[in-house]
Structures are given as C-alpha cells and as structure tokens.
Structure 1
C-alpha cells in the first residue's frame, strides 16, 4: 500500500490552542468590567464583553457575527471603512481613534477605540482585540464649555467672542468674492424704561423675543449676535448692493416693532441701527464694529427707529467731538466754567422773582463762550451728568452767598433729559441739598425741556415726584415746542410753564404766535400752573404779555445774563427805576 504521509501535529495543536484561546477570551469578555470586542479574520465580531453589549443596549448574541460598522453612525462607518481599517491592517495597531456608536435607542455615544491585530506565523491576520472608552460625558462637557464660551446664556445667540471669529471669516469671504459684508449694530430704543417699569424678568423675556423675531429675517449665511444688554450685531454676508442692504434693514426694523408677550405684558419697542459696509469701509474688524456703533448713535440722535450708514465725514466729526469733550472735561477740572444769571421779574409788582443760571465757558484762548458753542457736544456723553451736578452745586453756593448779603431769591437751572432720567438722580440731588442746610430747597428750581419730560413720561413723573418731596421746584422749559397733550400736562408734577421765546419774540407782528402765547397762558391758568415768558426783548413785549395776563417774564428787554457779582446791584436798580410800570 502506497501513500503520502504528512505530520499535522503542529497544525492541530495550533488549532486547539486557538480554540482554547477563544474560549478563554469569551470567559474573559463575560466577566470583564471593560468594554472589549474582538474581530475574526472575516471582519465580524468574534467576542463582545457583557459591558459593551449592555452599554449599546444589545445582548451579546445579537452582536456576535455582525460587522462593527453596523453599530456606528454612517459617518463613523465610512471613516472606519475608508481610513481606519486599511491603516490597521497595515500597521497592526491603532490608538484612541474617535468613533460615534449608535445605541439601540438611537442615542449617539462618543468613544475612543484602541486595537491590536494578531497575526499567524505567516503574518496573515487572525483576529483583533479592541478596547472601547466612552467619552460621551467628556464630549458633552466640552460642548457645554464651548457653548458658555461662545454663546449668550440668555438668548443662545453667538456672543462677542464667536461674533469676532465669524466677522473675520465674513471679511475674508468678501475679499475672495468682492461682495459686501454689512456690519449692523442694533440697539433697542427705550429698553431701560421697560426694565425699570416691569422688572428685569420681563426685560429678559423681551430680549429673547427680539432675538427670536430677528432670527426670522436672517439668511442662511447671516449671523445675529448679542453683545450684552440690549445691544445686538447682525452680519449680513454676500450683499450685492446698498439697496439690497437697506431692504434687509427695513425688514429688521419692521420685525423689531412686532409686539412681544412677556408674562402678562405685551411690549412693543423699536430699534436704532448703525451700519458699516466692508470693503467700502476698509478697516479691521474692531474698527468696523466701532464705526457701526457710531452710526447707531447717529440714528438715535436723528429720532430713533431708523438705520444710519457710517461715512468717513461722520467719523471725522465724531473724532472732533471726542477731542472737544476731552477739552471740556479738562475745563471742568480747571474751573473754567462760570454761571451767568438772567433775572426773572413780576411786571405787576416789580419783584425780582429769581434768576435763571446760564453756563458760560471762560476759554483760555477763545474768550467767553456762550452755551450754544459747546453744550450740543454734551448730549449723551459721560460729561452730561457731572456738568449738570456742577451747575446745581454752583447755583446753591451762589444762593448761600446772596443770602449772606441779605438777598433772598430763587435760581433755576437747566437739567438735561439724560441727567434727569438717571437712576441715581434723586439720590445725588438729595446729597447735594444736604451740603447746603441753610439754603431752602424751594429756592432751587430745575428746568426740564418739555420734550425730555414727555419722552419718558412714566419714569419722568416718578423722578419729579421724588425730587419734589425734597422741596425743589420744577419748570417745564420751552413749552409749546414739544408735543404735550392735556393728559400729559395734568400728569407732570411741575410748578411752572415757560413759554418758548420763539413764540414771544414774534408775537407783536405774528397773530399766530400771539394766539399761541394767549393759549398757553390760558392753559396754565386752567391747570393752576405759574407761567413765565422767555424772550422778552423789549418793553413792548412786556406790555403785550401783561395785557394777556402773563406777568412773570425774562429776556433781553429786562436784562441780559450777568455775572453773579452784578446781580444784587441790578436788583436794587430795577426796583428804583420802576421800569416795569412803563407803558
């Protein structure tokens, strides 16, 4: 009998060792607290640890024989098939490869996988052993840190940090495409009053509502960010023309005006928007934002509820204004400002009722400057309140000095709207009055522009009432130039109405102005308010006003504003002259 014999002892031993190894591996996988799996030479799951199967929501039997990619998200499966597996077969090892696995319930689990490849004596792959680390909580924590770092907590909009990155990307895209990027700085009109009236919880709901409304008008590549408070920034990308930009801005303004339900309040408000256009304004991102901010303030000053495009002339004017404000701040520190006083008199009795304090700037090179040469620059600036407080302090000091001379009179000072509506105005006024206990608070009268008092009616009424409890008086200045209604006039706690000089000046030749003056006088009587006519330039004006029933006047026909030192002598001369009785 003939045949060929082959010794297969080693092969059988190897097979038996492999079988025994697989059995030991299965026992290990059943008992181990780690997430492990192994893959056979066919690329299918050979063993799976209990913990790994339980974590994914399957039994071990359901997973065995499946390809690992069956439990991955589509993107991870593609990544494994195209990139990881070929590298693994070549190198024999991988470390901390990120995958996303799918649990049975559809939840995504972020993991890191490390694996070693086992080869036979000929170098052919036999199986692999993989270890899985769940990093879902770490990824979630990283995502939360990213959200906190890059998104506003209240509105979930991008914050300043993320806005900066997106702005840089948008400008780079504009450089590539030649299209315009519009940087729009949006500030809500009257939001502070909403917070003051209804509380911050309502204010927060309004901000969330505004963010949601604005999101409806944005295009896919646009960005809406919140910088803080009631300030938002819109980045409008790929703008083909200025007209396209303005059309979007009109929609933004219209959307901002939509009512918002906040708790049991329905709130309506508007916005002012400043816009810088890149690359027409070829500046860096920070400067572009600053330019948009400057344009927004121009929109505020122009009446709010509108947008304003930035231009270089505006920038030059703003820089000049800032320099002038710096000069004024230095002048305040150097005591270059002085007060002149214009008398107010009673045409019936001749009594000097008091004086209006009018600021002047004793400029070291330009001489004595009238208020028209510098006050306009103060509007909305950081100097507005300090200068207003200086005026009140100086007026009270002068009242005390005149009292020491035996002259007991009243001084009225002008208060700007922004200064009056500050949250600490009444408190600081009380502190100022407390420094002059020998001067009756009633001798200080605060003049408020009609438009200022009515523009923020509810807040103004509260502040005026609180200040009147301190003893000071209030006058409504330039009455007739604003938009008072009888309802507003009844609500405002003021003692005096001052007829604007524009009506008084022409009343002798213009019947309409004379009619307006007569109407204001009758209105003051009906509401039991005192009346003072400004702009009395001649004694003929004084006579006409007296005939209409207005006896309290001031103007160049009575006296020009004068230094404080001249006021006592003028008062004495006025009474001696009997000029009020002429005509």
Structure 2
C-alpha cells in the first residue's frame, strides 16, 4: 500500500466504451455540477473513521492492511479517494485512480467478492453522509449524483480487475503465459537482440508433496518476488506454468550476460524460504538459454530453443551454461571453478583417519574435499570454501562429496574393508526438502552402504540457526542409523541446554583448544568439554593433533578419539585400506604415498 499509488497507473481508454457506459448509468451535466457541490472533505472526515473501524474489525481485511501498510496509510488513501470524487468520471485522473485501486486490491490478494463488499460498505456510508451534510433543497440530488459517481468507479475497478486476471498469473501476479509471449514479441520488435531464459525450480515437487500445496504456492510467490527484485525494470519475467518461469531481457551494449543474470537469480534463492508451521525450505533452479535472432526469428522458435537447453541442463544435472572465467575475480572465480568441476575428477575427496587414543585403531574417516586445477595442483578447503559461503554452489559441492563417499565406501566393501566415514554438512543441506530423499536414492544406487557407515558433522554455529528444525532432522537421521557429530565444539554458544536438545553422538573439540593444550586454561577447557560430554554419553574427538605430547595429554584427560597430522594427512581413497597407526607417529602402508602438509586442508 502506498500513498502515491495513483501516480503509477497505466491507462488504456476507449472513448466509445466510456461514452456508452456513462449513458447507461444516466450521467448528465447536472451530475457533474452536483458532485462538485458535495462537501467531500466533510464527508471524508465523517466516513473514513467508520470505514477504518469496520475494516479493523474483520480479520481478513485487518491482516491485509497490516501486511501491506498501516491504518494511517489506509486513512490517508481513503480520504484522498473520497476527495477525488469531486472530479467528473470522464477525466483521465479519475479513470487512473479507479484503475489503480482495482489493481492494488488484486495484488493484495483481495478477492473480487471481498473487494465489492468492502467498497459497498464505503459506498453506503458515503451516500448517507452526503444526504445528511448537504442542504435540504438539493440533498437527494447530490446523493444520487454521488451514488452514480461511486457506481461508475466500481465499474471501472471491476473491469480493471477482470482485465488484470486475463493477463496475470493470479498466484504470483507475474504476466501469465499468453502475456509473457506478447511481451517477448514486443521486445523482439523493439530490440536488436533479446536473451530468453527458461527456468525450472529444483526441489519444488518435494515441497508440495511434503508440506502441501499451500506451502508450494508460498514458495512460488517468494521466488517470483525475489527474482523480480533483482531484475531491471525493462526485463520481462513471467510464470509459464507449474514451477516454470520465462525471462526475456533486451540486449544492447550494456546488456548483462546470461551467466551474470543466472548467478543473480540463483543467489536470490540461497536464503531459505520461511513457511508458517514448517521448517524453512530451499529451492534451486535449472536454466535454458536462447537468444534472438541467433537462435530463431520468431517467439516460438526462440522459446523452443530455450526449452531444449533447459532439458539438456536438467539431463546433465547442470544449473547453468558454461561461461568464460577470465574476467572474474575472487569469490565469483571460485564459484565458477568449483561449479565447472562438479561431476569431474577435479573434485577430489580425501580421507583423514580418526584414531582411538587407547587402542590406536582407526575408528572412522573424515571426508575432506579438494579441488584440482588445470595444472594438477590441489587446492584445500581453506582456499575456496569461504568464497562459497551462502552460495548455491556450496550445496551442490556437498552433494558431490556425499556421492563420492558412497562410491568409495562401496569400493572398499568390495575389497573386504568395512569403514565408517563422516561427512560435513551445512544447515542449508539439512534444511533442503530433498535431503532425506537424496540419501535414500544414494542407498538405492549403492546398496552396500548402510546408514551405520555414514556420519554427519554439523558445525555448532549452524545448529543454532534453526535449532528446532535442525534438531528434528538430526533426530530423524539418528533414528535411521547415521551417527551425528557436533563439529568445532566450544567455538560457538556452547551450553548444556542446547546439548540436551540436539540429538548427537560425538563432540569434536576444536583444534584451537588442542593447540593450547600446554597452558592451564587450555587443558582446563579440554577437560571441561570431556567432562561435559560424559553425562550425555557423547564420544569426544580432538581435532588438529600434531605431537605425541598432545596425544598423551588428550588420552590422560579422558578424550577418546583424535585426528590430526600426528597420525596422518588425509589419504587418497585407494590408499585408505592399506593404512594403520603404529602408535609412534610412523605410518605403515603398502605404498609410500605422502600428502603435502597444508594447515588449510581440513574443512
């Protein structure tokens, strides 16, 4: 709701229809004189407070006012509208105001019937007030002319709403399929080049199936709102149908590239969408790109090409087309590199052993991701993960790592080696509506891998983002047989209260505490974390162990397991089954594989 809303209306007048309509309601020059004589300011002063009170008493209308503005704005708009009724109905501004009011109520989600009822309430009070406040000789003539004037506005508003629904999707209020095609056609006539993007949401069906169609409708509305917010006013965004959208962007020397636009659209989806009564959900999208005139000279040909590209993107599990990386720097460069590497051997998963401090046996392995560049150099997570925070590529990378872990566990099982692997996950991963289904799909494709073979490590800080939702998902995973570790414990808001609520099996002591083992405070913190874990039955794993003295101190303090450079760097999957810890800092292996030491290696 905006107090200057009537300055933004589009208008399409048909003089013949206008004249015919006024004739049918019996509008005369005397009516024009009568409405000019009505004391509209006095009428507004009396009627508007009653109207506002009536609206506030109705839950639906009250919610709409609060959602879209305030009662102060409603008071101002209603007052301005009543004062504007002194103008003859044939003036351009009078038509604009009526059209904009009709459109505004559609955009607010007010149905035609509810809108008519609200307008009738205002209509009734206005006519009564006009007849009361006008002088006796002309009281009824003024009231009748005022009734005609308001009736005329109501006809214009209703007609505008009907026209709006003819060209807009009623759910998202974007142009519908027909109107989108028309807008693309206009752009193709006016611009030397037009880029067309066909978009399809990933994860939307799961939202509908899990939380219902009301939740799905809300997701579509939010996606439409976010995408409209990041596009230019000259860009066309329409709902094609279902969870498909079509975008058309006029070209020129300053036109953005497809990669730039798709990056912005995907970035807009990285923040989880809040749904009342349900956990937040995250959706992504796949895109097909075509352009006029390169891919066709007609609307149908260009859209068909974009549709084909979308199908190919989904078939190959890509999100967008490849684009040159030479001009990109920093975070954008890393996002491009990692995205391009997904599904190739350039994404490498290594495994660091987690050792039982008492027996020296390997209890499990932690999966750690690396990126291999074109020169064959391995890049560690500390180099690229910070650039991917809050970026959709991070979630895609996590999915790639998880699938690689399933493949490696299968390979080891076939070779007779049974192992357990812990995988890092983010809150975005866990809150994704398809996360549990993806796990089921992976187990179906790799049946040798059981839930007991997989653990999930989640940062303590990530758990606190949506504690109830995360706790519920972790509880489900734990019930299915996966074990859960709380990573970097002690670096966030550690407390017994949230330890009690989060279903976990393991506390991982952050490496910063292990490195400070020799100080009184450092030893005290380690001992406190170990002591805190015991009543809950949690195992404790110390990270970043680099010396035998740290190893011995941790064991004496009651820590159960540990990992770090003392025992081993992260190993290639093919060398895992040959490795064992001898207890003196030397590794025994059937090969002489050595990984370069790098303090950034752990995620």
Shorter chain as normaliser: what TM range?
Answer: 0.5 to 0.7
d(CA) in 1 for partners of 2:215, 2:340: 41
d(CA) in 1 for partners of 2:402, 2:458: 13
List per-residue Cα deviations over 1:124-177 (Å, max 9, x = no partner).
Answer: xxxxxxxxxx96565123432577699998999xxxx9xxxxxxxxxxxxxxxx
More helix by share: 2
Equivalent of residue 394 in structure 1, options 385, 395, 404: 404
Structure 1 stretches lacking a partner, 5+ long: 1-33, 38-50, 57-62, 83-100, 111-133, 162-194, 209-225, 235-282, 302-315
8 Å Cα contact 1:426-1:466 kept in structure 2: no
Residue 540 of structure 1: how far off its partner (Å) = 0.7
Residue 228 of structure 1: how far off its partner (Å) = 4.9
Matching of residues 436-475 of structure 1 within 5 Å = 436-475=446-485
3-state SS, counterpart of residue 428 of structure 2 = helix
3-state SS, counterpart of residue 400 of structure 2 = helix
d(CA) in 1 for partners of 2:352, 2:435: 26
8 Å Cα contact 2:505-2:539 kept in structure 1: yes
Residue 77 of structure 1: how far off its partner (Å) = 8.2
Quick one: structure 1 residues 480 and 77, their matched pair in 2 at CA, closer, same or farther if it must change by over 3 Å? closer
- Larger RCO of the pair (alpha carbons < 8 Å, separation 6+): 2
d(CA) in 1 for partners of 2:329, 2:271: 18
Quick one: structure 1 residues 461 and 379, their matched pair in 2 at CA, closer, same or farther if it must change by over 3 Å? same
Matching of residues 172-251 of structure 1 within 5 Å = 228=224
Aligned CA-pair RMSD: 5.2
3-state SS, counterpart of residue 419 of structure 2 = coil
- 1:515 correspondence with 2:519: no
d(CA) in 2 for partners of 1:336, 1:231: 32
8 Å Cα contact 1:414-1:448 kept in structure 2: yes
Quick one: structure 1 residues 151 and 366, their matched pair in 2 at CA, closer, same or farther if it must change by over 3 Å? same
Equivalent of residue 531 in structure 1, options 537, 540, 553: 540
- 1:140 correspondence with 2:149: no
d(CA) in 2 for partners of 1:525, 1:323: 45
Matching of residues 533-552 of structure 1 within 5 Å = 533-552=542-561
List per-residue Cα deviations over 1:267-311 (Å, max 9, x = no partner).
Answer: xxxxxxxxxxxxxxxx9999xx99xx89x98x999xxxxxxxxxx
3-state SS, counterpart of residue 574 of structure 2 = helix
8 Å Cα contact 2:357-2:560 kept in structure 1: yes
d(CA) in 2 for partners of 1:35, 1:387: 62
The normalised TM-score by structure 2 is 0.50
8 Å Cα contact 1:103-1:109 kept in structure 2: no
- 1:493 correspondence with 2:503: yes
- 1:566 correspondence with 2:575: yes
List per-residue Cα deviations over 1:513-540 (Å, max 9, x = no partner).
Answer: 2111111000111211111110111111
Residue 415 of structure 1: how far off its partner (Å) = 0.9
Residue 483 of structure 1: how far off its partner (Å) = 0.8
* Structure having the higher Rg: 1
d(CA) in 2 for partners of 1:465, 1:420: 11
Matching of residues 353-392 of structure 1 within 5 Å = 353-365=363-375, 367-392=377-402
List per-residue Cα deviations over 1:33-70 (Å, max 9, x = no partner).
Answer: x9999xxxxxxxxxxxxx97xx68xxxxxx9xx95544
Equivalent of residue 413 in structure 2, options 403, 416, 441: 403
8 Å Cα contact 2:34-2:142 kept in structure 1: yes
d(CA) in 1 for partners of 2:22, 2:88: 20
d(CA) in 2 for partners of 1:324, 1:467: 32
Matching of residues 90-109 of structure 1 within 5 Å = 104=144, 106-109=146-149
d(CA) in 1 for partners of 2:538, 2:89: 86
3-state SS, counterpart of residue 360 of structure 2 = coil
d(CA) in 1 for partners of 2:474, 2:522: 30
List per-residue Cα deviations over 1:85-117 (Å, max 9, x = no partner).
Answer: xxxxxxxxxxxxxxxx9652832438xxxxxxx
8 Å Cα contact 2:516-2:522 kept in structure 1: yes
**2:350 aligned residue:** 340
